[in-house]
Amino acid sequence: MNFGEHLTLDGYGGDYELLNDREYVRSCFDELLAHLEMHPLIEPVIIEAPDNQIKDPGGWSGYVVIAESHISIHTFPKRKFISADVYTCRNGMDREYITEYFRTKFKLTDLETNFIVRGTRYPEHNLV
């Protein structure tokens, strides 16, 4: 038994306008939650991240805490880049759907993913 699954996505060559659109980014949370049948514990939070004058030229950062864990999305429009996480305590995540969703949604030309099985020694029963 393991605790859950965590998919990280880094997308390149995305559409500047889509990556820079707060409401478009916000719609991702609603669409993913509905398709993946996940249950939000709060409304998605989307904030404008300012240019930090180092390597982050600014964009939108958002997250939603869900009963199953969390989803986060960070856009970097000037770099045509997106970084996202989908973490769930469920097993059997639809990685292909999630990957293609981001590729299509932001018109990405390249995408790298990492899949992590979390909590491989998660206890089957309460310890206290």
Q: What is the CATH number of the domain that holds 43?
A: 3.60.90.10
Residue 123 in any domain: the answer is no
Residue 126 in any domain: the answer is no
**Residue 120 · residue 6 · CB < 8 Å:** no
pLDDT at 105: 98
pLDDT at 51: 84
Residue 106 in any domain: the answer is yes
Residue 128 in any domain: the answer is no
pLDDT at 55: 82
When divided into structural domains, the chain yields a total of: 1
Q: What are phi and psi of 71, to 5 degrees?
A: -130, 135
Strand partners of residue 81:
12, 76
The helix/strand/coil state of 119 is coil
Residue 42 in any domain: the answer is yes
Q: What angle do CA 113, 115, 119 make, to 5 degrees?
A: 155
Q: Tokens 């398709």, residue?
A: 35
pLDDT at 52: 84
Cα–Cα distance between 65 and 114 in angstroms, integer?
21
Q: How many H helices and E strands in the chain?
A: 3, 6
Residue 57 in any domain: the answer is yes
Residue 127 in any domain: the answer is no
Residues spanned by the domain of 42 = 4-118
Cα–Cα distance between 16 and 118 in angstroms, integer?
33
Tens-binned pLDDT, residue by residue, of the chain (128 aa): 789 999 999 999 999 999 999 999 999 999 999 999 999 999 999 999 988 888 888 899 999 999 999 999 999 999 999 999 999 999 999 999 999 999 999 999 999 999 999 999 999 899 99
CB-side exposure of 24: number of CA atoms within 13 Å? 17
Residue 31 in any domain: the answer is yes
